[in-house]
Amino acid sequence: QVQLVESGGGLVQVGGSLRLSCAASGRAVSTYAMGWFRQAPGKEREFVAAVSWPGGNTFYADSVKGRFTISRDNAKNTVYLQMNSLKPEDTAVYYCAAAPSYVRTFVAAKKYDNWGQGTQVTVSS
């Protein structure tokens, strides 16, 4: 088991940037595939981005491609989501999640065994 804690959310204007962090404890995040999901009020949780293990390949939802970047710092046991050019439709609670390293498809939330508590991102227009 790995425990995940997100931080870095907040209120930002349209076009602004935020960097979310996901700090892991209990086990090394380097042995997991890691993903970010988000859930807006009244909507289902949706995939945002993922980074595989091993290999470090990255995957993005079409809605964030070119604007968001997922990265991992194994030395700090932390995964990041850099969000640029934010839009009002990016407003949601953002969740970090960990999946077993053998997972090769990352969109489905059911692939992930461990979840953080979420951090709110609000983009004002």
Separation of alpha carbons 46 and 49, rounded Å? 10
The percent of residues in the chain predicted with pLDDT above 70, rounded, is: 100
- 67, burial (CB in 10 Å: exposed 0-12, middle 13-18, buried 19+): middle
Residue 109 pLDDT > 90: yes
pLDDT tens readout for residues 49-64: 999 988 889 999 999 9
- Closest residue by Cα to residue 53 from 77, 69, 34: 34
Q: Are 66 and 81 contacting, i.e. CB atoms less than 8 angstroms apart? A: no
Residue 29 pLDDT > 90: no
**pLDDT band at 30, cuts 50/70/90?**
confident
Separation of alpha carbons 29 and 13, rounded Å? 31
